[in-house]
Amino acid sequence: MNAACPSSCPFVLPRPELSGTPGLVRRLAAGPAGGQDYDETKRNMLKLLVLAGIAGAAGGGLTGGSLQYAQPPIVGIANFPRVQLLDLDGSALTSAKIAGEYTVETNDVILFNYPLRNEPNFLLNLSPPKGGTGGASNVQGGVGPNKSIVAYSAICQHLGCPAPNISYYPPGTCPATPGGQSFYIHCTCHGSTYDVTNGASNLTGPAVLPLPQVVLEWNQSDDTIWATGMTPNSPPVNGHFSTLTGDYAVGSQSQLTKQQPIHQCDTF
Ligand code: FES
């Protein structure tokens, strides 16, 4: 306080015009309403809303950028896992069980998911029934005593029709292909045909890529069957940027499922 001006110093003058309810700002006498109160909190909120509207209208790029970071992350896995296959009843799948349950003549669609939950694969045993003839052994990537157990993606490499629209055709189901193959995988959507004895290479189009082939492992010590990867020349599973991205991993085990096939004979 300035003691030299006790009566004129503005700091000690009585200021009745400054008294009032905390949080409210009073317009002083010079104002048009002669001292009308208004709520500063509401006024500031209005300013914020106006500024947000201007930012939204003029900052489309900013909004888009913000939404970009709101996208869910791409799910997937870093490496191919080693997954044990289980039979339809949940027991460990063995080559002995496969030989007894599935042969080149099996009509049902036998599937397991690998490496992701939304990536189904055919499990095929190309050996004939016990004592029978035909079928194939020592095929590319085949495992088991006859190297006849193989697995291929059950999603067509043309436009992605899944099983059972794409199904395995046992011998005699439909006419043989031009190359004389009597059992094959065929897609009813547009007619692509794949050679199950040769890495699911293309027998007829319009697909131009083979079906991705699962690398199987036969553990001879306990006869179990495992999936451990995809062959190096396999394209990505159709609909996936990479076979390792697009869903969550199946886990440490994957159980077989069964579907009824859809068969449609085409004129090759
Ligand atoms: S999606 Fe299979 S042939 Fe077209």
pLDDT tens digit sequence for 208-260: 999 999 999 999 999 999 999 999 999 999 999 999 999 999 999 999 999 99
Q: Which percentage of the chain shows pLDDT scores above 90?
A: 69
CB-count burial class (<10 Å; 0-12, 13-18, 19+) for 250: buried
Q: Do 259 and 109 meet the contact criterion of CB atoms below 8 Å apart?
A: yes
Residue to probe by mutation, ligand 1, list 152, 190, 262, most atoms within 8 Å of CB: 190
What average pLDDT does this structure show over 45-55?
A: 49
Sequence ranges of the domains in the chain: 22-68, 76-268
Which of 204, 185, 177, 155 shows the shortest CA–CA distance to 263?
185
Q: From ligand 1's centre to the CA of 203, what distance in Å?
A: 13
What is the predicted pLDDT for the residue at 178?
86
Residue 29: is its pLDDT beyond 50? no
Q: How confident is the model at residue 66 (pLDDT cuts 50, 70, 90)?
A: low
Residue 22: is its pLDDT beyond 50? no
What average pLDDT does this structure show over 48-59?
A: 48
Judge if the beta carbon of residue 190 lies within 6 A of ligand 1.
Answer: yes
Helix axes 60-68 and 40-58, enclosed angle (nearest 10): 80
The model's pTM is 0.74
253-255 and 83-86: which strand pairing?
parallel
For 212, which DSSP code?
P
Alpha helices in 171-250 (DSSP H): none
Residue 121: is its pLDDT beyond 60? yes
Residue 87: is its pLDDT beyond 90? yes
What average pLDDT does this structure show over 160-164?
A: 97
The tens digit of pLDDT for each residue in 187-211 reads: 999 999 999 999 999 999 999 999 9
Helix (H, G, I), strand (E, B) or coil at 230: strand
Judge if the beta carbon of residue 161 lies within 6 A of ligand 1.
Answer: yes
What is the predicted pLDDT for the residue at 266?
87
Residue to probe by mutation, ligand 1, list 192, 211, 237, most atoms within 8 Å of CB: 192
What is the predicted pLDDT for the residue at 36?
45
C-alpha distance from residue 139 to each of 84, 144, 151, 210 (Å): 22, 11, 11, 15
What is the predicted pLDDT for the residue at 68?
57
- CATH number for the segment(s) 76-268: 2.102.10.10
3-state DSSP: the chain helix, strand, coil percent, rounded to 5?
15, 25, 60
Q: Where are the beta strands (DSSP E) in 72-199?
A: 83-86, 109-113, 120-125, 149-153, 166-169, 184-187, 193-195
What average pLDDT does this structure show over 101-113?
A: 97
Angle at 228 between CA 225 and CA 233, to 5 degrees: 120
Token digits of residue 257: 């499922």
